[in-house]
Every structure is written in structure tokens, then in C-alpha cells.
Structure 1
């Protein structure tokens, strides 16, 4: 047991102080977005909006996220990651406080759209910052640390949010959400002042290449869209399947979903440190991750018993733990070729596109064709992403020869 503990601690060593600060700021920011899990309930129960209106608002949520990632990448290349992160955190806090005063459908729709543009401009900027503050050999583990912060934030946020709603109502939730984002901005100002912090790997490219002309990178992004399509089903159609087909309660569903966060927290960093030492390419590791996620959906169509759901979640989590860090590291490494903000924006936009279309298409497929067809279809789409990565691997090898 002591050896396992020491191995776990060693997997975190070597990361720069600035990366740890970025992780803490990300943790505060993500834990602070407590409104998001309760947004649908707030819109329908408190504001009395219809389900179709709530659906439209959630679509504006996804579109705002897409535009925010794109704009964040552009701004990062023009004014730098530090100003984008600082402005995004502060203004997100202000908008979270202000959104509670919007009550009509169109005002909420517009408010959520603008909020997500501002909030998700943070994402490409923080990845470029991570690129600058990480040693080349530690980039994948640095990404993994940020993912741990995000997962901890998402795990703690809903629990804290539920307590706040019970004791203070939704108004208290908006105020605390807003101030937590402003607190993250102040922390950034104090601990990552660019005059005091020294970038470790600040790449200067005199003739930057546009990400939109990098065909190999665009092939990678398409593979990530397919992967994202499968991955986000675990947060929309899969919980419905747990309830409707297997009769699980909300508490039981929460336990299975919570297992995902616990496994990531306990295993991802040692797993990534181990895989970094293997002589496989990043694309090969991504392919393994995507195939594990695809296999998790095949498991759902095995003879029904609750153990299938647990095994499916384990497979998905292992696939996620491999696919996300190495795909992110690939994007960061590829970004050396040109405009880093633009490259990282395209990476984050891939998952925004998945959010816009995947939930709706998954639900419609279940309604029209049933769960079995939907799970096979989702596995096929994820496998198609792995095939694209296989093609990418061959292209990259031919390029290096």
C-alpha cells in the first residue's frame, strides 16, 4: 500500500508552480459554476418556462459556448492568454450575478448566450497558458492535473449548489457563483502576474500557420467531434436509460456517475505517468481510449443486469482517462506550428459542437429506434473517430519519413 501511495505522489512531481496555481484557479472557477446543473430546473420551476423554451435556451447555451471558444482563441492570439483569462473570469462573475434579474424567455436566452461566450473564452486561453508554463516532458500530466481540478469542481459544485438552494434559494446561488468567479480572477491577478511569472515554454513562431489550413489537425478535430458525440451521451441519454430500463433511482444513478469522478481522481495521474513511458504514439493512445468508450456502449446491449452498467462505466472512464489527456497534449504540441489560441479554440470547439447536436440526436434516436440501435450507433460513431485517428497516425508517420 505504501508503494502505491508513493507512486501516486511521484506522479504529481515535476509540475511547475504556475501549473498548480492554474489548477487551483480552474477548481474555484468550475466549483463556482454551480448554476449550470440546476439551470433547467430553475428555468422551468422558478421562471415557469415551457420545456420547449428551456430546450431553446439550452441550445443558446451550446451556441454561446461554441462562439466563446472561437472568440477566446482569437483574442488569445491577439492580446495574450493572461488578459483573456482575467477578463473572462471577472466578467463571468458579473454576468452570473446579473442573470438572476432576467425573467422573460428572450432576455434569458440572450443573457445565457452572452454569458457562455464570455465564460468559455477562458478555455482556449487556459490551455495556451498551460502550454507556456509546462515543461515539454510534463505537458500531458499538466493537462491531467487541470482535468482533475475540473472534475473535482464539477463534483463539489452540484453538492454545494444543492445546499445553497435549500438554504438561500436560487438567488443565493447566483450571487455565490458570481463571487467565486470574481475570486478566481483576483487569485489569478495575485499569483500569476505576468511580470512575476516566467513562462517555461513560450514558443515564438514568426510565420504562424492557421489551424484551418492544417488538414491533419482538422482530421484530428473531426475525430474529437465523433468522440465527443459518444462521450456526452453519458450525461443525457445514459442516465435516462439507467432509470427507464434498469429502474435505478436518482441516488443509484448518482453513485454510478460518481464512480467516474472517483476513478479519475484516484487513477488518472498514475495512469498517464505510466503511459507516457510507453513507446506508443499519442494517436495510438487516443485510439485505445476511443475504442474503450465505444466498447462501453456495446456492453449496454448485453443481457440486462446492473453489473453491465458498472462495467460499462468502468470502460468509459478508462477510455476517457486515456483519450482526453493525450488528445489535449496532441493539440498543444500541434499548436507550436501556428496561432496557439486558434489551435486550442478548435480543440475545445469540437466538444461544443458535440454538445449542440449529440444530446438532441441521442434522445431522438431513442424515441424513434430504441436503446439497442442507439447504443450500437453511438459505438459506431466513436469507432469511426478511432478510424480517423488511425488514418491520422499513418499521415503523420509518412510526414516524418
Structure 2
């Protein structure tokens, strides 16, 4: 095995721009105040629950479109420019949301808000790789994820405090954090360099990507595993309530995932970076599948918490490795677009996972959790092929 720097040396050796990028990612996730309260806001404005749910789905469709558009922009106009455009346009769309009155206009603005808010994601993921030496890329990816999860944990709580003063403050605070990230990007992130396509390359970039069978297999595996982990926000809640626990217990147990990632994931890379990406990701996917499969026998809060810990270990192993693996597969001039396809799988899984999971859950809960285990094993096999 190759010699690797210690975790402390890796963190000390991270370029300053990477720390600013991680702080910007924290700001973005922390400041996403509107989304958790969007349905509540719309129903208070006398839109129906169905219309509010449709608006949320349209917002998610914008996220999916942003993955492809953002990856393209990251390669064509640069990572930093894409981040700035994303944050400024996101602030504008967020401030426009409370101004619209009709449902059609609300649909359009919601799609734009979802797209603008996520345009930066492929650019940020590509920039992590651009900024980091090869032996530090895995730790850098984990550090970025830690920043996102800290923001995710703190944001809704802060949003709840802000909304008590009025929804107008909520929209303003969301837009302000986006503009702060944009200013940070202009001041602290490098312009970056664009890579020209190699001579003789033929076909559209999507054709180039989909000719890489390893990448295609990885995308399918990522979609499958993320659809499994998406059960955290849907059927796992139903399982916990069905086991006789109050909603507050679900909130506590759901936080186990983010807490473990924040506390442990960067340290876990000290172990995982010693192995090749594909076998290590396969192990992670097996842990994810096993953790959810064990849910069928878990009814006490402690047992459910342990199953969450099992599949979170799998997530901590596989997710940072996935970013590094995609970067290795991607031609330099297509790195942003490859990252865009990867993040598109995440966005698509957030749509597919809960919908399919609740459908199976309503028929047979045992079938759902067993199926999650099977999906994890198949995803592991796909990345090994």
C-alpha cells in the first residue's frame, strides 16, 4: 500500500481556497431556510396542500436540471463563475417567490429557484478535486461533506427561529446567505483553468461519458444506493411511528446519520484511502444495504439507531470515494459534466426513492427492507464489474 500523510498533516496541507469553499458550502446549506418551510408558507397563503406539494416537486425538478446545466457551465465558464451565477440567481429567485400570486407563476419561479440553487454543486465538487493534491482528495471530499451536514443540521433550527418573526425575514435571510457565498467565491476562490478537448475526440460529451461502461455502471449503482438512503426521510419515519414511537423519536434517530458523518467521516478516510476505490465503495454499499435490511427486525429505538449507524458507516465509506472515483474516470475537460451526471443521480433518487419505497411499504414492509438489502448488494456488484 502507498504511504499516506496523517489526517492532521492532510488537513494542515489543504489549500486555503478549499477551506473557503467548504465554508461556502456550509453557508449554502445552513442558509437554505425557505425549502423546509415552503409547504407551510404556501398553505398559509391559501394554496391547497396538493398545490404546495406540486410546487415542492417542481422545485426538485429544478434541482435535477441544475445538475446537468451546472456541470456544463463548470467546464465552459469555470467553477468560480458558475458558483457566483448560481448564488446570485438563487437569491433573486428566492426573493421573487413571495411576490407571485398565481399558481402558474409559482411553478415557474419554483423551478428557477430549484435550478439556480443547485447549479453550483457540480462546480464545487469539481473544484474540490482541482484544488487538492491526489493524496488529499478523499479527505477534502469528506471535509466538504462534513461542512454540508453541519449546515443541514443547524439550518432548519435557525429557520424556525427566523420564521417566528415572519416569513419575509425567512426569504431575506435565505437570499442573504446566497449572496454572501457569491461574495466569498469572488474574493477567495481561484478563477480556475479550462481544459481543451483532446484532438480527435468525436461525438457529444454525453456520448463520451456513456461509452465509459465503468462510469455508467457506477451511475446506476449510485442511483440505486441513494434511492435506498432516501428511505430515511420517508419510509423509515413510517416504520418508527408504526413501532409505537412518537415523532420526536424519529427526529432524534434521523439526526444520528448527520451526527456520525460530522464527527467521524473525515477520520474514516484515513482508513478508506488505503484501498482502491471500487472495492471500498462496494463494501460501503453492502453496509448500506445491510443496515436497511436489518430494519425489518428493529423495533426499539436503540435497535433502530444501531441500524442507522450500520448504513451510515456504509455512506461514510462510499460517498467521499465516489467523488474521487468520478474525477479519475472523467477526462479533464469534462470533469464538471461528469460530476453533474453524478449529482443528477442523487437528485433523481430523491424523487424515485421515497415514491417507490412508500409504494412497497404499503404492500409489505418486510419486502421493502429486504429489497433494500438486495439493492445494496447489486450496487456493490455493479461497481466491481
Is the Cα–Cα contact under 8 Å of residues 30 and 151 in structure 2 kept in the other structure? yes
More displaced stretch, 101-110 vs 282-291: 101-110
Is the Cα–Cα contact under 8 Å of residues 225 and 351 in structure 1 kept in the other structure? yes
Give the structure 2 partner of residue 375 of structure 1.
Answer: 369
Give the structure 1 partner of residue 259 of structure 2.
Answer: 262
Is the Cα–Cα contact under 8 Å of residues 17 and 190 in structure 2 kept in the other structure? no
**2-structure distance, mates of 1:60, 1:350:** 17
C-alpha deviation, 1:306, in angstroms? 2.3
Query: Which residue of 312, 320, 328 maps to 1:325?
Result: 320
**1-structure distance, mates of 2:353, 2:298:** 26
1:1-400 aligned at under 5 Å gives the runs 9-10=8-9, 12-44=11-43, 46-166=44-164, 168-194=165-191, 206-207=198-199, 210-243=208-241, 245-276=242-273, 278=274, 280-302=275-297, 304-336=299-331, 338-367=333-362, 369-391=363-385
C-alpha deviation, 1:96, in angstroms? 1.1
**2-structure distance, mates of 1:68, 1:312:** 33
Is the Cα–Cα contact under 8 Å of residues 11 and 269 in structure 1 kept in the other structure? no
Distance 1:11 1:131, change over 3 A: closer
Q: Which blocks of at least 5 consecutive residues in structure 2 are unaligned?
A: 1-5
**2-structure distance, mates of 1:303, 1:257:** 15
**1-structure distance, mates of 2:103, 2:303:** 41
Give the structure 1 partner of residue 3 of structure 2.
Answer: none
C-alpha deviation, 1:10, in angstroms? 4.8
The TM-score with structure 1 as length reference comes to 0.88
Is the Cα–Cα contact under 8 Å of residues 235 and 358 in structure 2 kept in the other structure? yes
C-alpha deviation, 1:50, in angstroms? 2.8
**1-structure distance, mates of 2:85, 2:282:** 36
The TM-score with structure 2 as length reference comes to 0.92
Is the Cα–Cα contact under 8 Å of residues 246 and 306 in structure 1 kept in the other structure? no
Is the Cα–Cα contact under 8 Å of residues 7 and 270 in structure 2 kept in the other structure? no
**2-structure distance, mates of 1:137, 1:155:** 29
**2-structure distance, mates of 1:47, 1:363:** 29
C-alpha deviation, 1:234, in angstroms? 0.7
Is the Cα–Cα contact under 8 Å of residues 281 and 322 in structure 2 kept in the other structure? yes
**2-structure distance, mates of 1:177, 1:97:** 9
C-alpha deviation, 1:124, in angstroms? 0.7
Give the structure 2 partner of residue 4 of structure 1.
Answer: none
SS of 2:331 mapped into structure 1: helix
SS of 1:12 mapped into structure 2: helix
**1-structure distance, mates of 2:53, 2:360:** 17
Is the Cα–Cα contact under 8 Å of residues 263 and 317 in structure 1 kept in the other structure? yes
**2-structure distance, mates of 1:34, 1:272:** 31
Alignment size in residue pairs: 374
C-alpha deviation, 1:192, in angstroms? 1.8
C-alpha deviation, 1:104, in angstroms? 3.1
Deviations 1:226-281 (A, max 9, x none): 011101111122122212x12222322222122222211111111112221x2x31
**1-structure distance, mates of 2:55, 2:247:** 24
Is the Cα–Cα contact under 8 Å of residues 10 and 136 in structure 2 kept in the other structure? no
**2-structure distance, mates of 1:329, 1:104:** 44
C-alpha deviation, 1:103, in angstroms? 3.6
C-alpha deviation, 1:165, in angstroms? 1.0
Cα RMSD after superposing both structures: 1.9
Q: Which blocks of at least 5 consecutive residues in structure 1 are unaligned?
A: 1-6, 392-401
**2-structure distance, mates of 1:190, 1:232:** 36
**Moved >3 Å (runs of 4+):** 7-11, 202-205
